[in-house]
């Protein structure tokens, strides 16, 4: 089996489930040593066992990406224990309902803290290492919701729209120094993203949305990540959208 990422070290945030877990598994299969961070230490430990059972190398670094010290610490621990950080996958994120009428502003803060600021923290910590070692790759998992708003998606869409533009700004800032930056925007993907939404009606709607027939699988996103990373260094796939084939609006 081809291992295009042999010798590379990757850090995946939000790796305890969903897209983060799918990315970690695909990166390991492609030959990368994978450091993984998320709040659920038990799930990370299980994922390490799974990767090691298939002959890969992995490191669990439990942490909360909304806490700057823990987010930066995850990067520093990965570098300290594994020697470098060649790849950063920003996958940690949440979804909440967020309209403006009778809105709970704390929900906006919660969503922006993890979706946007968690990404800022890890990138700010990783970029100096990538510059020192002569290059690297950053892929941020955004969402097609970052391209359009809706009555109940204001908080989530706003956070992902901000992520899109912040990520592309990094691409323009760092590209001439061999750091490639990509925004990856999935549509409906079979994950647990809806399970912790506090609004019961929105929770039910999102759970149905991501469980519908033909929804993208986390592994599909992981394979797309490997494809992006395996391209020649002269090529930066700056943006990619992945939708379910049977529902082009998702």
- Show the 3-state SS of 170-217: HHHHHHHHCEEEEEEEECCECCCCCCCCCCHHHHHHHHHHHHCCCCEC
| pLDDT above 80: residue 31 | yes
- Which residue is listed with tokens 């942490």? 63
Average pLDDT in the 191-207 region?
78
What is the enclosing helix (H) or strand (E) of 169?
A: helix 154-174
**What percent of the chain is modeled with pLDDT above 90?**
76
Q: What is the CA radius of gyration of the chain?
A: 17
Core vs surface per residue 237-247: b (16+ CB within 10 A) or e:
beebebbbeee
Question: In terms of pLDDT, which residue wins out, 154 or 127?
Answer: 127
As a whole number of angstroms, the distance between CA 183 and CA 166 comes to 10
Split at pLDDT 50, 70, 90, the class of 188 is: confident
Contact (Cβ atoms closer than 8 angstroms) between residue 222 and residue 26:
yes
Q: What is the pLDDT of residue 23?
A: 98
Mean predicted lDDT score pLDDT of the chain: 93
What is the enclosing helix (H) or strand (E) of 141?
A: strand 136-141
Question: Which of 81, 184, 74, 86 lies closest to 131 in space, CA to CA?
Answer: 86
| pLDDT above 90: residue 190 | no
Domain 9-241 CATH superfamily: NAD(P)-binding Rossmann-like Domain (3.40.50.720)
| pLDDT above 70: residue 249 | no
Q: So which residues are the catalytic ones?
A: 156
| pLDDT above 90: residue 21 | yes
Q: What is the pLDDT of residue 238?
A: 98
Split at pLDDT 50, 70, 90, the class of 200 is: confident
Instruction: Write the pLDDT tens digit of every residue in 77-120.
Output: 999 999 999 999 999 999 888 788 888 899 999 999 999 999 99
| pLDDT above 80: residue 248 | no
| pLDDT above 70: residue 36 | yes
Average pLDDT in the 162-190 region?
96
Split at pLDDT 50, 70, 90, the class of 205 is: confident
The backbone torsions φ and ψ at residue 72, rounded to the nearest 5 degrees and listed phi first, read -65, -35
As a whole number of angstroms, the distance between CA 87 and CA 197 comes to 30
Least confident of 18-27, 66-75, 103-112: 103-112
| pLDDT above 90: residue 125 | yes
What residues does each domain of the chain span? Answer: 9-241
As a whole number of angstroms, the distance between CA 115 and CA 166 comes to 12
């Amino acid at each position: 089996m081809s291992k295009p990422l042999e010798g590379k070290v990757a850090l995946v945030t939000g790796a305890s489930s969903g897209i983060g877990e799918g990315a970690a598994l695909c990166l390991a299969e492609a030959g990368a040593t994978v450091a993984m961070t998320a709040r659920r230490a038990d799930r990370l430990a299980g994922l390490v066992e799974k990767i090691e059972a298939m002959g890969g190398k992995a490191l669990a670094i439990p942490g909360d990406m909304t806490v700057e010290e823990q987010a930066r610490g995850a990067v520093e621990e990965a570098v300290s224990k594994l020697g470098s950080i060649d790849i950063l996958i920003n996958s940690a994120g949440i979804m909440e309902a967020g309209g403006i009428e009778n809105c709970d502003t704390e929900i906006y803060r919660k969503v922006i803290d993890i979706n946007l600021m968690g990404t800022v923290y890890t990138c700010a910590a990783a970029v100096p290492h990538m510059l020192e070692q002569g290059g690297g790759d950053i892929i941020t998992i955004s969402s097609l919701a970052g391209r359009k708003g809706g009555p109940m998606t204001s908080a989530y869409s706003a956070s992902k729209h901000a992520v899109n533009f912040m990520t592309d700004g990094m691409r323009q800032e760092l590209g001439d120094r061999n750091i490639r930056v990509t925004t990856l925007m999935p549509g409906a993907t079979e994950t647990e993203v809806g399970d912790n939404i506090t609004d019961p009606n929105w929770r039910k709607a999102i759970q149905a949305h991501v469980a519908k027939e033909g929804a993208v699988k986390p592994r599909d996103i992981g394979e797309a990540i490997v494809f992006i990373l395996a391209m020649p260094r002269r090529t930066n796939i700056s943006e990619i959208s992945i939708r379910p084939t049977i529902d082009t609006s998702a």
